[in-house]
Amino acid sequence: MGLLSEWPWRGRAKGGVLAVALGESSLRYVFAREAGERGATLAAWGLEARGSQTRESFLKRAKALLPRAGAAIVVLDPRDYQILQLEAPNVLPAEVRGAVRWKATEFVEGSPLDYTIDVLHVAAAGEGPGKVIAVAAHNDLLRSRMRDGESLGLALSVIDVAETAERNLLHAALLAESPGLEVAGALFAQAGHASMIISVRGELRFFRRFEFNVDRLALPVEEEEPLMMAQGQAAEAAARSLTQLQRTLDLWDHTYAQLPLDTLRVHAGAQTAAVVDRIAPAAGVDTRPLALSGVFRGPAGRKAPPWEDPAYVPLLGALLRPGGAP
């Protein structure tokens, strides 16, 4: 997914790749000297807080701190775009984007002409209902991110979204570990929410975000039960999390009954192993940690590599864009 594909210019990838997530109060980044769909060699990463500075002063300071890169990717916050799965328009492939833009009147505020819309995938024949995955971001927001990129001195080539970044991570992990698996899912969890994506032969087919209480589910059942009796609200949060997970898996099974899930990989930072142990019985499918240590390489001596921190996951995945991807 590349939301700059409709814009008249794009950067070229020379001298490494920098992935950036920019909010109102902070900037998070990961720099890779080399990156491809199978992995990346990381050289630097970090988080810069704005503090009491004006945005202009903050961007100026951040520009001086960021590594120089030949290409840059900005990853949008999920609140900054809409991603939907729609019935595939009955038109020629070359006309799909235009048909989706027309259909966009049903899910965007204002005129569809005010949005950049990218179409990710149409399911092939025999793989269930014809579906299109579309991402829409308002042009004003994209222009703002492009101006921020200019202020930071970035050679901005792509604006990406979390769901495709997560697909990239799952694909790379499976290539390194179990390349024969065709239908694979990944659960990315942190704080009070989770994102699940499912890919078929490496292509994103399904996505869903939902409430997920990682802290509660990471507790062993024998420790949680006394707490559940004493803290009804916390117990409800854990139950809702498991219910949402099961609903997500059921939705996939109902929509794509002919494509049963082969495996579910989990990333929840330091709590990954505990979450896997807790949800595996309910998932009803091979469930194990998403192994990223074989996908990324980084300098020794730092306390914790970024692939162990859920906050860096979208940036790391954005680095692993398939060759030739828009």
- Are 273 and 171 in the same domain? yes
- Are 50 and 24 in the same domain? yes
Q: Distance of CA 173 to CAs 8, 26, 288, 290, 307, Å?
A: 34, 29, 12, 7, 12
- Are 252 and 178 in the same domain? yes
Angle at 279 between CA 273 and CA 283, to 5 degrees: 130
7: confidence class by pLDDT, cuts 50, 70, 90: very low
Angle at 294 between CA 289 and CA 295, to 5 degrees: 95
- Are 90 and 130 in the same domain? yes
8 Å CB contact between 276 and 289 = yes
Report how many domains make up the chain: 3
Q: Is the pLDDT of residue 294 over 50?
A: yes
Does a structural domain hold residue 7?
no
Query: pLDDT by residue (tens digit) across 21-31?
Result: 998 899 999 99
SS3 state at 179: coil
Query: pLDDT by residue (tens digit) across 116-128?
Result: 989 876 555 455 5
Does a structural domain hold residue 272?
yes
- Are 158 and 36 in the same domain? yes
15-41 mean pLDDT: 95
- Are 234 and 177 in the same domain? yes
pTM: 0.89
CATH number at residue 224: 3.30.420.40
The reported pLDDT for the residue numbered 177 is 86
8 Å CB contact between 83 and 117 = no
8 Å CB contact between 212 and 245 = yes
- Rounded-to-integer distance, Cα 286 and Cα 174, Å: 14
Does a structural domain hold residue 305?
no
Average pLDDT, the chain: 87
Does a structural domain hold residue 125?
yes
Domain assignment of residue 250, given as a range: 165-291
140: confidence class by pLDDT, cuts 50, 70, 90: very high
Query: pLDDT by residue (tens digit) across 218-260?
Result: 877 665 555 554 556 666 777 889 999 999 999 999 988 999 9
- Are 22 and 103 in the same domain? no
- Rounded-to-integer distance, Cα 195 and Cα 192, Å: 11
The reported pLDDT for the residue numbered 11 is 38
